[in-house]
């Protein structure tokens, strides 16, 4: 039902999502080192939005892979 390229694509999307999640975390850490309050607020909320979206996408891809694995297991039985 799900070919090898589908699994490779899902793993690739998870890795990209994890990279953006890591970049968002690094951006959040660097936001605390800023001196200007306006720059801090802008980078703080931007990094939090990036973290939220990336984490949601990674979770969605992982849940999709779990669901596909369960479906393929049930079809074999």
Q: What percent of the chain has pLDDT over 70?
A: 97
pLDDT score of 1 = 62
The dihedral through the CA atoms of 69, 54, 33, 44 has a sign that is negative
Q: Where are the domains of the chain?
A: 4-76
pLDDT score of 49 = 97
Provide long-range contacts, Cβ within 8 A and 24+ apart, for 4-10: 6/68, 7/65, 10/61, 10/64, 10/65
Q: How far is the first Cα of the chain from the last one, in angstroms, to the nearest whole number?
A: 14
Distances (CA, A) of 35 to 6, 21, 29, 40, 54: 46, 24, 13, 7, 27
In this predicted model, what pLDDT tens digit does every residue of 19-47 receive, in sequence order?
A: 999 999 999 999 999 999 999 999 999 99
């Amino acid at each position: 039902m799900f070919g090898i390229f589908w699994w490779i694509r899902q793993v690739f999307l998870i890795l990209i999502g994890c990279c953006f999640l890591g970049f968002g975390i690094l951006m959040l850490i660097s936001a605390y080192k800023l001196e200007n309050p306006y720059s801090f607020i802008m980078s703080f909320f931007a990094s939090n939005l990036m973290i939220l979206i990336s984490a949601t996408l990674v979770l969605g891809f992982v849940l999709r892979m779990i669901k596909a694995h369960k479906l393929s297991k049930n079809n074999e039985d």
